């Protein structure tokens, strides 16, 4: 006969099985603490390290090997499994190829936004599903509502109710980078750091004995690393030097190639000591591909513009047109009041209450209602005050 202990174990359990979360582990302190916090909330946590760039060019500008070692060490400390996946092919096809195409057409892309849309919230989500994940999680400083508890599976229709909100740490808020991610993908993601301040995250990591608590935050684009940007582009796009002129068409010098410059750029123009010109700095004003001409100005006010046209809109919140909201055209910019209207061709026309500096084609505009991220779009055409 079975013992009383055996009988007890034969009884069906009434406890809820915790939802399974796969955390994107980068080797940095943010994703490490995110995994710990989810553990404390009762989730069944595993990690996934994503390799997005093949280091086959003889350089060591990406730190994938060291980052993987850091991620593995943290997972060992937390007692969780770390999976690895190589998305280098998908990154090349869906992010890097677009990056090159945009520069070849004299625009200035933002690969970080595409990486989130195509890799972190596309390939990552698909891979996590094969591991049986209910949710994925990242170390982004972003809030979401509603926040599911650890025993809740994603309900049907969740993407209809979810809201993406700015992180509480205004200096680290990363909603701008999520603007192009489809809503149903974000509905499957948890953001444990949304209510935290970055200094508190480092202090917590140190108190836990995590070896990466002092690790420097990653900045810039992995595949460029510490190289000069111009040197990196030269490996893929041939320079075509041409005239550099002022707004009146007077030739001031030669540019290296239009793709090497971005609107509003001040450094690296190499104009100075021109006869009859003040010593004030020069700024890139516009590109004229038809004549391979770069327009520059010493009047920074020339860079100001009130409107832009954007395409490929991705809406995360409820909107009605004409839309009165705030927006930002670059990360860390303060929110700017604007009005948004649809055009007949499906694009968006955005007019700002105040002139904006250096609105740049190829970049992205994110729309907000207070702290809620409403969505975003890709800037196609920008105006300047002339």
According to the model, what pLDDT value does residue 8 have? 40
Q: Read off the pLDDT of residues 235-263 as tens digits, 9 standing for 90 and up.
A: 899 999 999 999 999 999 999 999 999 99
| pLDDT at position 222 over 90 | no
Q: What percent of the chain has pLDDT over 70?
A: 89
Residue 7 pLDDT? 39
Name, in order, each residue with C-beta under 8 angstroms of 222's C-beta and a sequence gap of 6 or more.
52, 53, 61, 62, 63, 64
Beta strand 251-255 with 242-245 is antiparallel
Fold annotation for 238-298 = SH3 type barrels. (2.30.30)
Name 305's Cβ contacts closer than 8 Å, sequence gap at least 6: 355, 356, 359, 382, 383, 384, 385
Contacts of 216 (CB under 8 A, 6+ apart): none
Q: Which of 62, 75, 189, 222 is flagged as catalytic?
A: 222
Lowest mean pLDDT among 58-62, 91-95, 166-170: 58-62
Q: Does 338 participate in catalysis according to the annotation?
A: no
Q: How confident is the prediction for the chain on average, in pLDDT?
A: 90
Two tokens at 274?
Answer: 């021109």
Q: Which long-range contacts (CB under 8 A, 24 or more apart) does 247-253 make?
A: 247/285, 247/295, 247/297, 247/302, 252/296
- Per the CB < 8 A criterion, the answer to whether 345 and 292 are in contact is no
CATH 3.40.50.620 positions along the chain are 17-207
CB atoms under 10 Å from CB of 55, counted, come to 17
Reported as type and span, the H/E element at residue 348 is strand 348-357
Least Cα distance to 316 among 182, 201, 223 occurs for 182
Q: Which two tokens stand for residue 182?
A: 């489809």
Per the annotation, the verdict on 189 as an active-site residue is no
pLDDT tens, residue by residue, 183-200: 999 999 999 999 999 999
**Is the pLDDT at 203 greater than 90, yes or no?**
yes
Q: Which of 42-56, 226-240, 295-309 has the lowest mean pLDDT?
A: 226-240
In CATH terms, the superfamily for domain 303-382 is Translation factors (2.40.30.10)
What pLDDT does 13 receive?
A: 45
Contact 242, 262 (CB under 8 A): no
Cα 212 to chain centroid, rounded: 22
6 has a pLDDT exceeding 50: no
pTM for the full model? 0.91
pLDDT band at 150 (very low <50, low <70, confident <90, very high): confident
351 — pLDDT class (breaks 50, 70, 90): very high
Q: What are phi and psi of 206, to 5 degrees?
A: -65, -40
CA distances from 36 to 46, 143, 153, 208 (A): 10, 17, 20, 9
- CATH 2.30.30.280 domain span(s) along the chain: 238-298
Position 16 confidence tier, pLDDT thresholds 50, 70, 90: confident
Who's near 332: CB < 8 A, 6+ residues apart? Answer: none
347 closest CA partner among 311, 307, 375, 302: 311
Confidence of residue 220 (pLDDT cuts 50, 70, 90): low
d(CA 137, CA 149): 14
- In sequence order, the 6+-apart residues with CB closer than 8 A to the CB of 377 are 310, 311, 312, 313, 314, 348, 364, 365, 367
End-to-end CA distance of the chain: 93
Query: Is 32 in contact with 210 (CB distance < 8 Å)?
Result: yes
| Concatenated DSSP letters of 56-83 | -SS---S-HHHHHHHHHHHHHHHT--EE
Average pLDDT over residues 133-137: 96
Q: How far apart are CA 162 and CA 117, in angstroms?
A: 17
| Answer CATH for 17-207 from 3.50.50.60, 1.10.10.10, 3.40.50.620, 3.40.630.30 | 3.40.50.620
Comparing 224 with 20, which gets the higher pLDDT? 20
The residue whose two tokens read 């702290």 is 371
Instruction: Supply the pLDDT for residue 219.
Output: 67
Can you tell me the mean pLDDT for 44-52? 96
CB distance 31 to 55 below 8 Å? no
Sign of CA dihedral 11, 14, 15, 18: positive
Which pLDDT does position 233 carry in this prediction?
Answer: 87
Mean pLDDT of 86-93: 94
| Per-residue confidence (pLDDT) for residue 11, from 0 to 100 | 44
Peptide bond into 333 cis (omega under 30): no
Delimit the CATH 2.40.30.10 region(s) of the chain: 303-382
* Distance (Å) of CA 35 to CA 44, 138, 191: 10, 8, 10
Tokens of 126: 């698909």
Q: Which residue has the tokens 């809820």?
A: 16
pLDDT tens readout for residues 158-168: 667 899 999 99
Q: How far is CA 163 from CA 115, 134, 338, in A?
A: 21, 18, 21
Please identify which of the residues 115, 189, 325, 338 carries the catalytic annotation. Answer: 115
Q: What is the DSSP string of 9-51?
A: HHSPP-SPPPPEEEEE--SSHHHHHHHHHHHHTT-EEEEEEEE
pLDDT of residue 58: 47
% pLDDT > 90, the chain: 76
């Amino acid at each position: 006969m079975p013992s009383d202990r055996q009988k007890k174990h034969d009884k069906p359990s009434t406890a809820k099985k915790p939802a399974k979360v796969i955390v994107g582990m980068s080797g940095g302190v943010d994703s490490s603490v995110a995994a710990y916090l989810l553990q404390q909330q009762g989730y069944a946590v595993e990690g996934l390290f994503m390799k997005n760039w093949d280091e086959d060019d003889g350089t060591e500008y990406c730190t994938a090997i060291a980052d993987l070692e850091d991620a593995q060490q943290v997972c060992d400390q937390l007692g969780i499994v770390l999976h690895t996946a190589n998305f280098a092919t998908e990154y090349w096809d869906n992010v890097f190829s677009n990056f090159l195409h945009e520069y070849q057409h004299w625009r200035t892309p933002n690969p970080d936004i595409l990486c989130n849309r195509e890799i972190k919230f596309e390939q990552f989500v698909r891979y996590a599903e094969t591991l049986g994940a209910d949710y994925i999680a990242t170390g982004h400083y972003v809030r979401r509502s509603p926040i599911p508890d650890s025993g809740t599976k994603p309900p049907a229709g969740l993407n209809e109710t979810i809201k993406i909100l700015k992180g509480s740490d205004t200096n680290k808020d990363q909603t701008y980078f999520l603007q192009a991610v489809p809503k149903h993908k974000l509905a499957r993601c948890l953001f444990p750091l949304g209510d935290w301040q970055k200094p508190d995250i480092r202090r917590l990591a140190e108190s836990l004995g995590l070896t990466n608590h002092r690790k420097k935050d990653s900045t810039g684009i992995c595949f460029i690393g510490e190289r000069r940007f111009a040197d990196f582009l030269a490996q893929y796009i041939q320079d075509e030097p041409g005239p550099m002129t002022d707004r009146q068409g007077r030739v001031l010098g030669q540019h290296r190639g239009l793709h090497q410059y971005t609107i509003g750029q001040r450094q690296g123009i190499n104009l100075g000591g021109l006869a009859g010109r003040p010593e004030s700095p020069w700024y890139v004003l516009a590109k004229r591909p038809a004549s391979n001409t770069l327009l520059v100005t010493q009047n920074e006010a020339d860079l100001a513009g009130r409107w832009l046209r954007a395409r490929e809109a991705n809406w995360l919140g409820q909107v009605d047109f004409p839309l009165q909201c705030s927006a930002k055209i670059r990360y860390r910019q303060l929110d700017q009041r604007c009005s948004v209207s649809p055009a007949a061709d499906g694009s968006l026309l955005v007019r700002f209450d105040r002139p904006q500096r250096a609105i740049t084609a190829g970049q992205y505009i994110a729309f907000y209602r207070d702290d809620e991220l409403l969505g975003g779009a890709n800037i196609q055409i920008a105006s300047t005050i002339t």
